[in-house]
A and B are shown apart, each in its own frame.
Chain A
Amino acid sequence: MRRMNLALCIFLLSCSEAATKDNPCPQGICIAGNGNDGGPGGGGSSGSSGSSGSSGTSGDGGPQVCNPAWTCTAWQKDAQGKSTRTCTDTNKCGTASGKPSEGPLDLPGLDFDYYKCNVEPIFDRGCAMVGCHGTEVGRPFKVYARGRLRHQETVPPAPTCLDTGPQELAKKGTATVMCLGWSKHTAAEWQQNFDNARSFMVGLTNPDDSELLSQPVYQGKAHTGVHLFRKSDADYQTIAKWLSGEKLGRTCDPSPN
């Protein structure tokens, strides 16, 4: 019995080792994101329609075309209360083509509660895959979601896991539903998702013109062949109503999100 206890203690002690890049989860329960920071679709896909928007050049046999892959920081308010951000082309094409707005500007005053309860679930379901808009690199539209991309911030350990002390949410929680990947959205994730989404209405009056709708709608833009809804579908209507300024009229409890 004593030997068994000793063996168990050795096993459990090994669980408290610090995570490393090669062994991101020494205790064998919590999963870490890996250190590979390849772009979206970076692994490629055999026989797949693929989803990469960050390949630097394209064209077979013809002139090489460099496709910018814009990566933007989170929106920040400056001293004048205007929102600004910085966008850089991951592919370094040397062009401003398609560069998202960096401000300073006033983000549209859309309803946060309506977004949390009605719009975010649509994005979580159909957009937030880590090879699509669940990526920090190369996509102006970015969605943090449980089980997909998690924000780079330090958070308390998940109560159901053996980690102790502050944890890196992005490293431990991205692309998994285990432990921190299962944990609720943080305030920063909600705010950045909301700000990022509403920035697609900057300078527009008609929601149909927003890329949030014109890209994923059937018979809309190419969007790598991925089309999620038709104009008559409830999801399209929900996003359109939010972009038009509709309010939820109550405080949203997005639990368990």
Chain B
Amino acid sequence: MGKDAVLRVEDLHKSYGKLKVLKGVSFEIRRGETKVIAGPSGVGKSTLLRCINLLTKPDKGRIWLEDVEITKPGININKIRQRIGFVFQEFNLFHHLKVIDNVMIGLTKVKKLPKDEAFRRAKEALLAVYITEDLWYKYPAQLSGGQKQRVAIARALAMDPVIILYDEPTSALDPQLVGEVLQVMKELAKKGVTSLVVTHEIGFALEVADELMFMYDGKIIERGPPKEVVFNPRHEITKKFFEKVGRLYGERR
């Protein structure tokens, strides 16, 4: 495990019945880095993320979180998940809990922190994503999509994870709400929160990502600094995928 590496994924395979979704994925993320995975839909990007926090069990391959091999049998999965933040495409905020309770429940029930300490941390996390006090006592159903997703980020952030995984965080949002969520993600990335983001938002990758990994047919076929992968790719497939994007963001060599 390289020094300062927070996450290491080695040769991950996953099949659903006859369909092989991950065909040997490997990469590493160091502390403070932000990496983006992009690619056509259905190539297994979501599956990859869910394998990392073991919501899905990989068929083959190993994963390390800091120095712990989390794919080893007998490991306490729940303890591991406390250190990995996960932001879902469909937010998945707890419907029956107010915003503040959504963020606090992981701290009180899972981390077993005293209530006032949990409240303090929750406050911090919510303010970091620009959710102000007037929203704290509302229910998720009363919030806009962008607000919900920011609360979801706060919920993950409050657990003080070593890495946050974002699974297409803006795909379920109306276009005008995407910006506020990306803004928060960019700020967190710049602050040094280690992040792995699956997204179609190439602008985000170009702005803050340390590396862009292009995934196709279950494998990462190209990786490197975002500007290179997008505007100067080596493979034809990569070229084709980012063609349209290149036109959008202007060709830069």
- To the question of whether A and B form a pair in one complex, the answer is no
Which B residues have a C-beta under 8 Å from some C-beta of A?
A: none
